[in-house]
Structure 1
Amino acid sequence: MSIANIEQRLHAVPDSPGIYIMKDAQDNVLYVGKANVLKNRVRSYFQSSINHQPKTIRMVARIEDFEFVVTNTEAEALILENTFIKKHKPPYNVRLKDDKTYPYLKIDLHEDFPRVYLTRRIIDDGSRYFGPFATVGTLRKTMDLIKKLFPYRSCTKNITGRDAKPCLEYHINRCVAPCTGYASKTDYDEVIKQVILFLEGKTDTVERNLKAQLETASTDLNFERAAVLRDQLQAIQKVSEEQDLKVASLVSEDSDVIAVEIGDSEAWVEIFFVRTGKLVGRDNFFMQGTKDTDRNFVITQFIKQFYETASVIPPTILVEAEPLEKGLIESWLSEKRGKKVAISVPMRGHKRKILEVASNNAQQGLTQHKVKWVTDSDAVYKAAEDLQEYLGLPEFPGRIECYDVSHIQGTNTVGSMVVFESGIARPKKYRRFKIKTVEGVDDYESMREMVSRRFSRLGPINTEEIVASGNRSNSWEERPQLVLIDGGKGQLSAVQEVMLHLGLQDIPLASLAKENEWVFTPDSQEPIILPRDSESLFLLQRLRDEAHRFAITYHRNIRSKSALKSPIDMVTGVGPKRKRMLIRQFGSVQGIKNAEIDDIAAVPGMTRTLAIRIKEVL
Structure 2
Amino acid sequence: MAALRAQLRTLPQLPGVYRMLAADGGVLYVGKAKALKSRVGSYFLKQVASPKTRALVERIHGIEITITASETEALLMEQTLIKALKPPYNILLRDDKSYPYVFLSEADTFPRLAFHRGGKRQKGRYFGPFPGSGAVRDSLNLLQKLFQVRQCEDSTFRNRERPCLQYQIKRCRAPCVGYVSADDYRRDVDNTRLFLEGRNEEVTDNLIARMSMASEALDFERAAVYRDQLAALRRVQEQQFVLRDVGSADVFGVAAQPGGVCVHVLQVRDGHVLGGKAWYPPLFGETAVTDILTEFLPSYYLQAAVGEAAGGRELPREIITPVELPEAALLAEAVRQQYGREVEIRSRVREARAAWLEMAQRNAESGLASTLANRGHIAQRFADLQRVLERDAPVTRMECFDISHTMGEATVASCVVFDGQGPKKSDYRRFNIEGITPGDDYAAMHQALTRRYSRLLKDEAVLPDILFIDGGKGQLAQAVDVLAELGVHQVQLIGIAKGEGRKPGLETLHFPDGGTLSLSADSPALHLIQHIRDEAHRFAITGHRERRAKARRTSTLEGIPGVGPTRRRALIQHFGGLQEVMRASERDLATVPGISATLAQAIHAALHSH
Q: TM-score, normalised by structure 1?
A: 0.41
Larger Rg: 1
Greater length-normalized contact order (CA 8 Å, ≥ 6 residues apart): 2
